[in-house]
């Protein structure tokens, strides 16, 4: 079992550009949640996908969007990148939306210059 995998692991983008991050959930998991973690802070919830729909959204602007595919994998898209978007982006997968545990991927370190 490969667990939760994210790609790429590191990424450098310029202000104003767009970025797409990818996540493959752990085998048997159907729910994917995305988080942004700035240095020294806890992960901040961006949104959650279940059955290919966005089920809940955190306090993030519309520049942040996502998608879930029939195989449960997911993408996070960020448009018009700002310097403040530099962070570790984490994907967590679970079985259902009320599971007793969630597994995180290793994250994508995004640097906006």
Partner 1 sequence: GQNIDQPTEMTATEGAIVQINCTYQTSGFNGLFWYQQHAGEAPTFLSYNVLDGLEEKGRFSSFLSRSKGYSYLLLKELQMKDSASYLCAVRDNTNAGKSTFGDGTTLTVKP
Q: Which residues bind partner 1 (CB under 8 A)?
A: 33, 35, 40-45, 48, 50, 55-56, 58, 90, 97-98, 100-107
Q: Residue 32 Cβ, how far from partner 1 at the closest point, in Å?
A: 11
Nearer to partner 1, 5 or 73 (CB): 5
Q: Which of 10, 42, 55, 30 is nearest to 66 (CA)?
A: 55
Q: Residue 110 Cβ, how far from partner 1 at the closest point, in Å?
A: 14
Contact assessment for residue 108 and residue 78, using Cβ atoms and an 8 Å cutoff:
no
- DSSP-H helix ranges across the chain: none
Nearer to partner 1, 14 or 84 (CB): 84
Nearer to partner 1, 81 or 108 (CB): 108
If you search the block for the tokens 């993030």, which residue do you land on?
60
């Amino acid at each position: 079992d490969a667990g939760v995998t994210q790609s790429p692991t590191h990424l450098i983008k310029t202000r104003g550009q767009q970025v797409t991050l990818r996540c493959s959930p752990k085998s048997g998991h159907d729910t994917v949640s995305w988080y942004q973690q700035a240095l020294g802070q806890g992960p901040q919830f961006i949104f959650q996908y279940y059955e290919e729909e966005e089920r809940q959204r955190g306090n993030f602007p519309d520049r942040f969007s996502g998608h879930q595919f029939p195989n449960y994998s997911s993408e996070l898209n960020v448009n018009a990148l700002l310097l403040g978007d530099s962070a570790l982006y984490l994907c967590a997968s679970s079985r259902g939306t009320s599971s007793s545990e969630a597994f995180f991927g290793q994250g994508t370190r995004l640097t906006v210059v």
